[in-house]
Amino acid sequence: MAELPEIFRVMAYVGGIMAFVGLNAAFLVWMERKVAGHIQRRIGPKEVGPFGILQSLADGIKLMSKQLVVPAKADPILYRVAPALTMITAVMVFVVIPFGPALVARDINIGLLLIFAIASVNVLALLIGGWGSNNKYSVISATRAVSQNVAYEVPMLITVVTMVMIVGSMNLNEIVGQQGNLLQWYIFPWNGSILLPVAFVIFFICSLAETNRAPFDLGEAESELVAGFHTEYGGMGFGLFFLGEYGHVFVGCALASILFLGGWQCPFGWMPGVHWMMIKTYLLIFVVMWIRWTYPRTTLYGLLNLSWKVMVPFSLAVLLVTAAMLKVF
């Protein structure tokens, strides 16, 4: 598509990504409810459309038709900016995700770095949303979310540095390109470092914590903090937080499949393409949902202990062992 004029290219991708983020969130809401339903011996949504697939559309229309209320003592600017900011970061990280060999908005050399740089801004959205809505529960939740994200970005980035050392590139398409078939996936210990499976587990747990998903959903611990940072949000303000969260969940799982599971490459070497990327990502998302509906929530201190006392030492060990192996072999 490189022959298209730049302006059309940008517009096509902006439209495409926005549509994808919206549809993806709608699908994931439906999928989450269906998965939860079947795990809990019930059916889940079934009335709206075939298998209830239009349920999230109905929910979306309901959310959009609601009045946007700003609480009387909230900070009106921060209160309005926060949901938009979480959505902006969710949309922007999609720019460098390679869905297929040619299906990537911007194939740039520092793609991996860019994703983490932008995704970190999401924490700011939670912080100002919690702060701006002038609610004690929201403030507690916002501080929790920040300390949680700081704690989990450290082991996550150490793992990513390990991967960059093995691959030798931060270009996501190049990382995928090196994993031609099942045996070359970076999840397996013979591809550079014997500790690669450990690195995958660390990365996956950290991405759960990064996206505020159970069992690390301390930011919106509904039995303690009512609804956490979005307690005061209604209508589409809440809707954007919701869309943003599912966008980040998708990006987290997409990154895991790009780094460790060969992205759009086929495990058997035939017909690589966007469908493989989708299959792998949605399988990982299914695992995320499975975890959510099985485990209860940890406490903030349990989570911080897990990060600083277990994840950071382990990820450093992975880094050192990998560096040594790369030097020796």
Partner 1 sequence: MSEWAADPSYETFVLNMGPQHPATHGALRVKLRMDGEYIVEAEPVLGYIHRMHEKMGENRTYLQFMPNTGRLDYLSALSYNHGYVSAVERAAGITVPERAEYLRVITVELNRISSHLLWVGAFVLDLGGFTPLLYAMDDREQILDLLERVTGSRLTYCYFRFGGLYNDVDDDFEAGARAIVKRMRDKLPMYHNLISKNIILRQRLEGVGPITGEMCRKYGATGPVARGSGIPYDVRRHEPYSVYPELDFDIPVYEQGDSMARYLVRMDEIEQSLRIIEQGLDKMPDGPVMAEKVPKIIKPPKGDYYFAVEAARGSFGVRLVSDGTNTPYRLKLRSPCFSNVSLFGEAARGMLLADAVAMFGSLDLVIPDIDR
Q: Interface with partner 1 includes 145 (CB under 8 A)?
A: no
Judged by beta carbon, residue 9 or residue 46, the one nearer partner 1 is 46
Assess 138 for contact with partner 1 (CB under 8 A).
no
Contacts 24+ apart (CB under 8 A), 73-80: 73/134, 74/132, 74/133, 74/134, 74/232, 75/131, 75/132, 75/133, 75/134, 77/132, 78/128, 78/129, 78/131, 78/132, 79/129, 79/132, 79/133, 79/232, 79/237, 80/237
CA quadruple 284, 149, 169, 182: dihedral, nearest 10: -20
Restricted to residues 153-182, the positions that interact with partner 1 (CB under 8 A) are none
Nearest to 93 by CA among 124, 120, 128: 120
Closer of 144 and 280 to partner 1 (Cβ): 144
Candidates 145, 221, 240, 304; binder of partner 1 (CB under 8 A) is 221
Q: Which residues contact 217 (CB under 8 A, 6 or more apart)?
A: 292, 297
Q: Site residues for partner 1, window 287-326 (CB under 8 A)?
A: 293-302
DSSP, res 218: G
Q: Tell me which of 223, 268, 270, 327 binds partner 1, using CB under 8 A.
A: 223
Compare residues 65 and 223 and give the one whose CB is closer to partner 1. Answer: 223
Q: Does 116 engage in binding with partner 1 (CB under 8 A)?
A: no
User: The tokens 């690195």 sit on which residue?
Assistant: 199
Residue 39 found at the interface with partner 1 (CB under 8 A): yes
User: Of 50 and 296, which CB lies nearer to partner 1 in the complex structure?
Assistant: 296
Check binding of 327 to partner 1 (CB under 8 A). Answer: no
Q: Of all helices (H) and strands (E), which one includes residue 199?
A: helix 196-210
Identity of the residue, 42 or 73, whose beta carbon is nearer to partner 1 in the bound complex: 42
**CB of 218 vs partner 1, minimal distance in Å:** 8
Q: Which residues bind partner 1 (CB under 8 A)?
A: 36, 39-42, 136-137, 140, 214-215, 217, 221-224, 226, 293-302
